[in-house]
Amino acid sequence: MMAEHDTSHSDVVPDKVAVATFTIPTAPIVDESLTKPTKEEQEIKQKATIEIPPSSIIDDEVFITALVDLINAAYDEAEAGIFKPGYVRTSVQAITELVKASELVVASVPAEYSAKSKSARVPVGCISIKKLSDTRAELGMFAVSIAQRGTGLGRDLIAFGEQWCRDALGGPGVAVAQLDLLVPTHFEHAFKVRLGAWYSRLGYKIVGSRDFVADYPKMAPLMAGPTEYRVHEKTL
């Protein structure tokens, strides 16, 4: 089953290279098996609150900017080699729209854990939730801060999204969570291989794939090579 996705573009020109900001139907995360968190990082994770924040959070420019930076940093690594240099995953405008629509789940910790923060809380992870039908929702825009890798925060975000699906959709045995993974077909992307295996361990199965540029032709100039997105789903 193919899901419909909202898309948005905004031109950016770093170093005279035209690029765009685009909401991609993918759900990258950190591979929690690659790093062992310190005791301090584990303690910080225990202080994390996961919630769909109130729309008023968009007035906190520091918080929203930090969230955008977190997502872009995660995708820079997760999608390395898939896009041409200069590509930017998301923007303040795109994230603001998700928050207004109550479609973004955010994990945050008290500001005391970040000396640079001017806000009451600091974002450390996020995942978007988009209702596709009465029985299906898409989980995307999945990112965890580097400092929180391996703490289990990624699993907690997934669990929150799945619980939302059970509560808001058809209930246990009916609600379906969908994750779309963007994968290059011209080379093996080690991060994507690990990520696909991680989804499998969580109970997600590949049910189909689509050519990315065929569905989003405006993205063609930004791609480093042929790419497809693989649809994973799990009945909850």
- Phi-psi region at 113: left, alpha or beta (left = phi > 0; alpha = psi -120 to 50): alpha
| Domain assignment present for 4 | no
| Domain assignment present for 1 | no
Show the CA angle centred on residue 89, arms to residues 84 and 91, nearest 5°: 135
- Cα 199 from Cα 30, distance rounded (Å): 11
| Domain assignment present for 224 | yes
Q: Which residue has the tokens 């799990």?
A: 234
| Domain assignment present for 3 | no
CATH of residue 189 = 3.40.630.30
Please check whether residue 121 is in contact with residue 111, taking contact to mean a CB–CB distance below 8 angstroms. Answer: yes
The count of domains in the chain is: 1
Which pLDDT tens digits describe the chain residue by residue (236 residues)? 223 333 332 323 233 223 333 333 334 334 444 457 676 656 666 778 999 999 999 999 999 999 999 999 999 989 999 999 999 999 999 999 999 999 999 999 987 755 555 678 899 999 999 999 999 999 999 999 887 877 889 999 999 999 999 999 988 899 999 999 999 999 999 999 999 999 999 999 999 999 999 999 999 999 999 999 999 999 99
The whole model's pTM is what?
Answer: 0.80
Domain that holds residue 149: 9-235
Please spell the DSSP secondary structure of 119-176, one letter per residue. Answer: SSEEEEEEEEEEE-SSSEEEEEEEEE-GGGTTTTHHHHHHHHHHHHHHHHSS-TTT-E
| Domain assignment present for 200 | yes
